[in-house]
Amino acid sequence: NAGVTQTPKFQVLKTGQSMTLQCAQDMNHEYMSWYRQDPGMGLRLIHYSVGAGITDQGEVPNGYNVSRSTTEDFPLRLLSAAPSQTSVYFCASSTLAGYNYEQYFGPGTRLTVT
């Protein structure tokens, strides 16, 4: 049982480049989400999904795109990288059953945009 996995662990991009951060979970969770973590700002929600084919915006969605074609995978796409997107990105998942809503986090992707 791998839980939530993220790839890559580290990435350096040049301004204007695009890339996809991968996230997968093997717990059959309905809910998946992407956060960015910046110093002194905690975690901010970028996008989330409550099931395959359903996505919605979080607090800071601009410059990012997501899709959810399967229950397991929830990739995050940076359309045209900017230095302001330098951050640590975390993917998380949880079940929607009951009121538990405990989120399980991946190990993170540290992204630097130059």
106 binds other proteins (CB under 8 A): yes
The residues, ordered by sequence, that sit 6+ positions from 98 with a Cβ below 8 Å of its Cβ are none
79 binds other proteins (CB under 8 A): no
- One symbol per residue from 28 to 47: x for binding other proteins (CB under 8 A), - otherwise; what is it? ---x-x-x----xxxxxx--
Contact yes or no for 91/105 (Cβ under 8 A) = yes
107 binds other proteins (CB under 8 A): yes
Contact yes or no for 112/51 (Cβ under 8 A) = no
97 binds other proteins (CB under 8 A): no
Contact yes or no for 19/78 (Cβ under 8 A) = yes
100 binds other proteins (CB under 8 A): yes
Measured between its terminal Cα atoms, the distance across the chain in Å is: 36
50 binds other proteins (CB under 8 A): yes
Binding positions for other proteins, rule: CB under 8 A: 4, 31, 33, 35, 40-45, 48, 50, 58, 90, 92, 94, 96, 99-108
